[in-house]
Amino acid sequence: MNAQKFITEANKQRVCQLLGWSLDDYTQYQENKGLEYLREVVCCDLWSVNNVAKAPLFWKWWVNHWNARDAEFVADASSWPLDWLRRKYNDLNAVDGFTFWPHKIIMEQSYAYMIGDVNKESVRV
């Protein structure tokens, strides 16, 4: 395991420890926030959200940004009460404050899924 992966995994474990979460809780929260980001920031309809969410590159990109926020959270966390830590983590991951956008290659990959859906639908009709 390289150093960056080790740090990322250690931060994930520390976040779970601080928030009293299981790894399943953590990954479900991360996925839900990714889908929320797509709905609220990137896409304007459920069909587009579902197609961008099919793109593996989107999720790699999302987790990369997530890891940076986890590192920030762990660095700032101390012996604060659990409710404060959870509020801080939620605030840190509030998608309405995000100003970053998926890279072009990610959107291109999702367009391929969209075109595939359109083609499948046209064959059915």
pLDDT at res. 21: 97
Alpha-carbon distances, residue 50 vs 25, 32, 64, 81, 117 (angstroms): 22, 13, 20, 37, 11
Closest CA relative to residue 75, chosen from 89, 64, 87: 89
Q: Which domain holds residue 68?
A: 3-124
Rounded Cα distance, 22 and 55, in Å? 26
Rounded Cα distance, 103 and 121, in Å? 28
How many structural domains compose the chain? 1
| Per-residue pLDDT band at 111 (split at 50, 70, 90) | low
Predicted model pTM: 0.83
Alpha-carbon distances, residue 24 vs 12, 17, 29 (angstroms): 11, 13, 8
pLDDT tens profile 60-99: 999 999 999 999 999 988 778 999 999 999 999 999 988 8
Of residues 108 and 25, more confidently modeled: 25
CA-CA-CA-CA torsion sign (28, 19, 63, 45):
positive
pLDDT tens profile 8-67: 999 999 999 999 999 999 999 999 999 999 999 888 788 888 888 988 999 999 999 999
Residue 101 has pLDDT above 70, yes or no: yes
